[in-house]
Structure formats: structure tokens, C-alpha cells
Structure 1
Amino acid sequence: MNDKTYSKIFQKLFLAGLLLFLAGCAAREPEVRTVRVEVPVPVPCRAPVVPVPAWATDSLKKTDSLELKVRALLAERRQRIGYERLLVAAVAACQ
């Protein structure tokens, strides 16, 4: 046999193998799988807006008595503590 004969035989065998390979792939149904992926999703915070109170010392004047100024400062301290607690609660609601 010569080289042309080997070449034709090789081509026929190659085509037959290729057809068998493609037929094997076509006969098989694709495998369908459901995969569950858990990914954290950022959610915007919907905490209520904490209004700034009217501070007790805002209405003080320079001519007011020392006793009135001290009482206003003590009242504002209580206001500030309450305001800070509301802010902490709003931040905790977002976490």
C-alpha cells in the first residue's frame, strides 16, 4: 500500500470516530442541578430620624441670673443624655 491509501483510510477512520463522538454527546441529556448560594445583600437602613431637641440653654441671655443658667445647664444635660440614647437606639436598629 502507498501513502495515499493510508491517508484515505486515516481520513475515513477519523471521520467515523468524530461522528461516533458527536453522536455520543448528542444522545446524552444535560444534567440540570439547582445550586443554592447564600450571599449577604446590603439593605438600606430605615431607622427613624432622631430630631434634635430645642436645647434648654438656647434661650438664655447674658443678663439671666446664675441660678437660672445652672438650672438650664442641668436640664440640657438630661436632654443630651436622652438624645444620645435615641441616637444609639437608631444606630442599633441598623445593625
Structure 2
Amino acid sequence: MKWLLLGAAVLLTGCAAREPEVRTVRVEVPVQVPCRAPVVSVPVWATDSLKKTDSLELKVRALLAERRQRIGYERVLLAAVAACQ
């Protein structure tokens, strides 16, 4: 019985004297990151300053200019959305 207790004590002291093994483990986990795209401001549209009394030619030119503005604005919006994906 003494030898059994002595053997158990030796085994326990052997485990206590051993230093723990230090390991670095790299774990790759996807983390959601908030989008930091710049705020896209709405341009001043070319037709905002039109009056009912303006000539037809002036109204058509303003509409054509606004169409170009809209296309450019949509491209900027698409670029902001693409930056977040």
C-alpha cells in the first residue's frame, strides 16, 4: 500500500513539475466589417432652375444635361457600392 501511494505521489509530482506547452494557433474566421464608402451627394440637377416660361430649346438642353448628370451620378453610386463588396 505504501508503494502504491509512493508511486502515485511520484507520478503526480512528475506532472506538476512539467511546464505547459505553449503553442500559437492561427484561426481564420470571417468578420463583418462596416462599409466605409464615401457619402455620395446628390448633384444640383440642371432642370431644377427651369421656369414654365423658358423656351423649348432651353428646356431640351437642360434635359440633355440632366441626363448626362444622372449617368455620372449613377456611376459614382455604383462605384460606392462596389467599394463595399
TM-score by length of 1: 0.69
How far 1:65 sits from its partner (Å)? 2.5
Deviations 1:13-45 (A, max 9, x none): 664354233123113221111111223333333
Please, which runs of 5 or more residues in structure 2 have no aligned partner? none
* Equivalent in 50, 55, 67 of residue 45 of structure 2: 55
Deviations 1:31-87 (A, max 9, x none): 111111223333333322222111011111222222222221111111000001111
- Give the number of aligned pairs: 85
* Equivalent in 13, 16, 19 of residue 26 of structure 1: 16
Answering whether residue 57 of structure 2 is matched by residue 76 of structure 1, we say no
- Over aligned residue pairs, what C-alpha RMSD do you find? 2.2
Distance 1:15 1:62 in 2: 106
Secondary structure at 1:64 match in 2: coil
* Equivalent in 58, 66, 73 of residue 56 of structure 2: 66
The residue that corresponds to 2:28 in the other structure is 38
Equivalent pairs: percent with the same residue?
Answer: 84
